[in-house]
Amino acid sequence: MLSVLQKTTRSVQAVRGVHQSASQVLKHRPQEETVTASFGRFINEVKPQHLSPVVLQRSKRMVLDSIGVGLIGSTTDVFELALQHCQHMYAADYISSVYGRSGVRLSPTLAAFVNGVATHSMDFDDTWHPATHPSGAVLPAVLALSDMMPASRKPSGLDFLLAFNVGIEIQGRLMRFSNEACNIPKRFHPPTVVGPMGSAAACARLLSLDPSQCSHALAIAASLAGAPMANAATQSKPLHIGNASRLGLEAALLASRGLEASPLVLDAVAGVAGFNAFYEDYVPQSLDTPNDGHAFLLEEQDMGFKRFPAHLGMHWVADAAASVHKLLVGVGPGKFWSDQVQDILLRVPRSKYINRPFPESEHEARHSFQFNACSALLDGEVTVQSFTPWAMSRPELHALLDRVRLEHPHDNPANFNQMYGEVQVTLVGGDILKGRCDTFYGHWRNPLTSESLRKKFRSNAELVLPSEKIERLIEVVEKLEKFEDCNDLLSQLH
């Protein structure tokens, strides 16, 4: 294993040092290959040695965080509903494990579904740029499929990570086919568009499908993609991730049985929409073969990890509000100073679905600038507990919510790479207190330390797992590429 890693390091360095000429690239890619075919071929041909140490490291952080978020998500109402539905409608099928439920196993696609729902149930999972939640669509499918494989043919830790990374990579590549997609979305919820494609790609890789089957898997998944943004901030939003995971796995399984779909689904064909049905400014690009020194997007673009369970945009405004809170605690105890607040001005990007003055449910609260700013003003931070009915119903919180105004400055675009959050509190006496956050802790420009990531994982996992399993999971994920099979991972999740 060590030798593989050294080889990987060398190959990446070699690629970086030498600029690839166009002729070299063309040598490996058949002329006039369609975009769709290039994706199928990439999924088929990519090998573990194409994963650089940076990509390995970053993807293992995603795996750990996604498992933790899924474990705490297995305590939510919406997860319970999804699990009950699966157990009620289907016979017991003791194949794939469910986060935090030691006695329960489900058919693989159903396990991918409920674990995907768990991952996004609190909106606590990772966010990438351009905006999507990449891991929740992929990891549950890869876990469920690994559970499905016979004991003698379990994927190695490295194969597992390769499949996971393929699922992430395909999502990243597809997100770059549209400039619109760089911004916070307005029409389709991105994980429902690129998520099933990522899941299908990861599963196709793990099943070692041939290049044509891999592109058929993507094309089948495209017919299962797309859900409207309007279901954000409802219980149906977590289902988006669960379905992405489940349906991508299903697309790969159907492709493995020989089912065929459009060979041009990713190519822009006028008059017959393929994947461009989901975008207004779609410009597809072929994927180079991995042999051409393909660098994974994760190498260049790290992941955002959330510190509390809410929409990513909330993290800027919560950090800005927390800094104002520090100034306010000098004024007096919480109850006292909240009476002194005359006006709260939030300068945030314009995005309708996260502008909710008076959220009525936890799901709406997770998508409310106003709620998150006021919670942080009041408590100095936003935590898992901020979204409990008790915390949400506090009169002093509502007193603050009544005083919130929003402004959308022109220099504050609805884009996770450029936005900021500013909180300006005017006190009854006329004093003005300001806080601003350009990059919150956890953003890709200011990543969580390993220690913070582990701390988040422990606090999430401890609700459902004993501490030995938690520590063992941390250890396994951190060395995952060294494991001969992924059983050590699969056996610790419940």
Partner 1 sequence: MISENGEPDSPQPDAARSVSASAMFCAPLCAAAGGSVEVPLTGSLLMKPGLTMCVCARPYRASGLSWGITESFGAGIHALRSSQLTDVVINRSKRMMLDTLGVGLLGTRTDVFQKALRYSQLFTSEYRSSIWGRSEITLPPYYAAFVNGIAVHSMDFDDTWHPATHPSGAVLPALLALAETLPSRPSGLDLLLAFNVGIEVQGRLMRFSKEAYNIPERFHPPSVVGVMGSAAASAKLLGLSPSQCSHALAIAASSAGAPLANAATQTKPLHIGNAARRGLEAAQLAAMGLEGNQAILDMNRGLGVYYNDYSPSAMPDCATNAFKWILEDQDVAFKRIPAHLAMHWLVDAALSARAKLQETIFDLSQIQRVTLRVPPSKYINCPLPTTEHQARHSFQFNACSALMDNRVTVASFDQDQINRPALKELLSKVEIETPADNQPSFDNMYCEVQIETAQGESCTARCNTFYGHWRKPLSQEDLVEKFSLNASSVLSAEGVEGVIDVVGNIEKVSECSVLGSYLRMNSNAHQQVYGMRTI
Amino acid sitting at position 246 = R
The residue (of 234 and 323) whose beta carbon lies closer to partner 1 is: 234
Q: Which among 188, 198, 199 has a CA at the least distance from the CA of 246?
A: 199
CA distances from 253 to 45, 59, 247, 258, 264 (A): 19, 24, 10, 9, 20
The residue (of 23 and 390) whose beta carbon lies closer to partner 1 is: 390
The strand pairing partners of 407, in sequence order, are: 347
Q: How far apart are CA 159 and CA 118, in angstroms?
A: 24
- Helix (H, G, I), strand (E, B), or coil: what is residue 125? coil
Q: How far is the CB of 459 from partner 1 (least distance, A)?
A: 21
Q: How far is the CB of 109 from partner 1 (least distance, A)?
A: 8
The residue (of 225 and 321) whose beta carbon lies closer to partner 1 is: 225
CA distances from 72 to 45, 115, 308, 451, 478 (A): 36, 11, 12, 19, 20
The residue (of 253 and 480) whose beta carbon lies closer to partner 1 is: 253
Burial 331-349 (b: 16+ CB within 10 A, else e): beebeebbeebeebbbbbb
Neighbours of 78 (CB within 10 A): 22
The residue (of 246 and 306) whose beta carbon lies closer to partner 1 is: 246
Q: How far is the CB of 263 from partner 1 (least distance, A)?
A: 8
Q: How far is the CB of 469 from partner 1 (least distance, A)?
A: 26
The residue (of 33 and 45) whose beta carbon lies closer to partner 1 is: 33
CA distances from 52 to 46, 151, 165, 286, 361 (A): 13, 28, 11, 22, 43
Q: How far is the CB of 241 from partner 1 (least distance, A)?
A: 11
Q: How far is the CB of 402 from partner 1 (least distance, A)?
A: 7
DSSP, residue by residue, 329-356: HTT--HHHHHHHEEEEEEE----GGG--
Q: How far is the CB of 489 from partner 1 (least distance, A)?
A: 24
Q: How far is the CB of 441 from partner 1 (least distance, A)?
A: 29
Backbone angles phi, psi at 112, to 5 degrees: -60, -40
Report the half-sphere exposure of 165 (CA within 13 A, side-chain side). Answer: 32
The residue (of 106 and 453) whose beta carbon lies closer to partner 1 is: 106
The residue (of 25 and 277) whose beta carbon lies closer to partner 1 is: 277
The residue (of 231 and 417) whose beta carbon lies closer to partner 1 is: 231
- CA 45-252-93 angle, to 5 degrees, is 130
Q: 439 burial class (0-12, 13-18, 19+ CB within 10 angstroms)?
A: middle
Beta strands 421-427 and 404-407: pairing type? unpaired
Backbone angles phi, psi at 64, to 5 degrees: -65, -45
Q: How far is the CB of 144 from partner 1 (least distance, A)?
A: 12
